[in-house]
A and B are shown apart, each in its own frame.
Chain A
Amino acid sequence: MGGAVIEILISASFWAAVLRIASPLIFATMGELICERAGVLNLGIEGIMVIGAFAGWMAVYLGLPLWGGVAVAFGAGALFGLLHGVLVVPFGLSQHVVGLGVTLLATATAYFAYRLALPEVTTPPKITPFQAWEVPVLSDIPLLGPALFAQTPLTYAAFACAGVVAFVLYRTPLGLALRAAGENPAALEAQGVSVSGIRIGAVMVGSGLMAVGGSFLTLSAFSSFFFEMVNGRGWICIALVVFGAWRPGKAVLGALLFAGFDALQIRLQQTPLGAVVPYQLFLMLPYVLSILALIAMSRRAQVPAALMVPYTKGER
């Protein structure tokens, strides 16, 4: 078995798959991370990914360019983010309940709109998705080139997005204000910055990124929209934020790790081992290993102190 694993690990197609599987997770994890750093848990993530997958795909199906589809997905996500933000920030409702509600609403909206727009179809129609773009020079490097530098543009964008999020969080006044909103909102208010404004803004942008993560599935990974295609990725991203200890860099590592296990299990199924062991065990592998990694990593995690604590001005 060891030999088979090594063989998989040194193949370029394995590493290419890792980056591809990680891409939607990175977008959505960054989105969730922004929300939580501002003090808002966003359990709407799963549904927002569905609406992103649907809205992005539908826009392209109706004639928009691919990047237009990404923008539409972002906008749709931000809209559901606005709903979540308004309910949990100024109204201070339970973030768990509202988040699950948003997930149900967004998922159902996407399915309903799909049926409404395409009542007759039995096989999902296809669009032309993003094609792989080989980075000049770099993609010619043996092994590394085809693995890392022959991806679709959205994959490059996912990694760029993580970089931007890290930069904004740690290097700009906006990021400082956002982190303060999640640590001690009273400190922010005392400095004259609106806690509600920052939190709602963070939830909107974060939800937009989650939706872009969802749209990766329809605009880059596949070419059609299916029901159940998000398939729990949103929940994985919630765990990845904890795994990453609320830090963008570590969260990306977590996404890569999970994607690695996922890519590995698919390939292991095709080895002689796959004939003996039930395939469900392989499907479990990324989740089991992720749980173990989560336990190990999250011990020392520094939770934002005001996560899930509604802030009411003038209350003592």
Chain B
Amino acid sequence: MSETALGAEVVLRLDQITKRFGRLVANDAISLTLHRGEVLALLGENGAGKTTLMNILFGHYMADTGSVTAFGQPLPPGQPKAALAAGIGMVHQHFTLADQLTVLENITLGTESLWSLGRGRAAAREKVQSLSRDFGLAVDPRARVSDLSVGERQRVEILKALYRDARILILDEPTAVLTPQEAEALFQTLRLATARGLSVIFISHKLHEVMGHSDSCVVLRHGRVVGQVATRDTDRRALAAMMVGAEMADSAVAPGVAGPVRLSLRGIRAGALRDVSLDLRGGTITGLAGVSGNGQAALADLIGGALLPEAGVMQVDGAPVLQWSPRAAIGAGVGRIPEDRHKTGTVADFTLAENAVLETYATRFSRAGLVDWAAVRAHTERLIAAYDVRCPGPEARIRLLSGGNMQKLILGRVMEETPGILIANQPVRGLDVGAIAYVHGRLVAARDAGAAVLLISEDLDEVMGLSDVIHVISEGRLSPAFARGALTQGELGLWMVGHGFGEGAAHAA
């Protein structure tokens, strides 16, 4: 933004920061500098060490080695209070707000002496309101945080930092949770901030944001700095290459060779589904496009065994299904990549090994009713190596992993069973470029190995890029099957909002 930023004084300097979690080196001798009025983008795949680095800077973690200097003064490690006092404000990816407190209470928390009688609420409210105006951060100071939208909560987080006169703002993946309009407003706020001499570091893996809104970029990979460039001297392609470590191949997916029908639904009613008929063929990726909440979850649950049909016929490999449950589904060779890897895909406080055998512990990994932990461990180590899961080891709790690495483990868990039918529900949601390409590659490989893949996604590009056959789901109804390339994005969009679901015509195909 500001052309002079790189010549301005240095406000923050990280020097040779190293941090290990067990065997995992999250940060490996990272150094970077931030100038006054500069917007620095910290770029990297999930698990590259961005968040760890910022948590060290803010004092949430202690670095094993290395030092932080803010405004020429060394920052004592491990003390958020010192970072705050030095003028560093952090907006975490997962907001640190107390829901039952008001906006004003969250902002003033910890800013007044604990022993003073009474709180200067009127003055505080006035300051918050003037900051709101100056930085374009509209939010009602009296509102309860639990009543606010995600975008508003983020504004409260930024106000918290500004209220403490932060001179350096750190934002951890600030746009991950925002609508495009909210994201635009956020960058507007950041522009106002840098115009007033503040400096900003924002973490992102969205290349268009980085290109559009930063002065310089630092790219991390596997915990190391692999590049530091002025944004105007680079382009998206070069940044992406640095992030994933190689020029990305253009991903034109060759069509699959359709095999026999593995799963067929006829006139199914279940949950939100209304009279759905569908064939999933081996060697085929069937894409399901649609706005989320139109019955995708019901369809995934139905095939996965968590939901029973109320009416209609369901056949697996030509045989009608009589008893259906998650266990029966697993037995019939249905592999599931759940929509929410945190809630339904994994057990956060279980180890990687325990998570890796959630579906098979009682069958493949048990002998005489006892779990064979040695075999589980060996199996998990194989998965970690084969699927490039970056982690401290099989005994680590899975909540320590980044989203991408968690998804790779889930992918490995499913793929190792060579499923005949694979439901991939939002398989790349929240993942970065490298991980997305990896997951897509694995889905295609599963298809080529003969699996019938159902790809559920809200991202039309993803559906159109990967699928051999596309259905659109809208209000629980399923469109006819469209061959790859038969409809344009605009035509699919019309089906998504419900056009085309005529009387009886829906099942003609």
Contact = CB atoms under 8 A, between A and B. Distances in A.
Given A173-B112, A316-B399, A186 B119 contact: no
Interface string B94-138: 001111110001101111111111110000000000000000000
Contact of B115 (A174, A189, A190, A302): A174
Contacts of A109: none
A187 B116 contact: no
Interface string A188-200: 1111110000000
Contacts of A187: 96-98, 106, 109
Contact of B81 (A192, A314, A316): A192
Contacts of B100: 179, 183, 302, 304-305
A177 interface: yes
A300 interface: no
Contact of B109 (A172, A180, A313): A180
B114 A184 contact: no
A188 B80 CA distance: 10
Interface residues of A, number: 24
B119 A176 contact: yes
A193 B114 contact: yes
Contacts of A190: 80, 90, 92, 96
B60 A314 contact: yes
Contacts, number: 86
A179 B101 contact: yes
B55 interface: yes
B110 A183 contact: no
B396 interface: no
B482 interface: no
Interface residues of B, number: 34
A299 interface: no
B23 to A, nearest CB: 18
Given A188-B110, A192-B81, A314-B60, A171 B119 contact: yes
Contacts of A302: 100
28 contacts: A171-B117, A172-B119, A173-B108, A173-B112, A173-B113, A173-B119, A176-B101, A176-B105, A176-B109, A177-B110, A179-B98, A180-B98, A180-B101, A183-B99, A183-B101, A187-B96, A187-B106, A188-B98, A189-B60, A189-B80, A189-B96, A190-B92, A192-B79, A193-B109, A193-B110, A304-B100, A313-B60, A314-B62
Q: Which 5 A-B pairs have the closest CB atoms?
A: A191-B110, A192-B81, A183-B98, A173-B112, A184-B98
Interface of B: 55, 60-62, 79-81, 84-85, 90, 92, 96-101, 105-106, 108-119, 160, 399-400
Given A187-B109, A189-B60, A192-B80, 20 more contacts: A173-B112, A173-B113, A173-B114, A176-B101, A179-B98, A183-B100, A184-B96, A187-B96, A187-B98, A188-B110, A191-B111, A191-B160, A192-B79, A192-B84, A192-B110, A193-B81, A193-B114, A305-B98, A314-B61, A316-B399
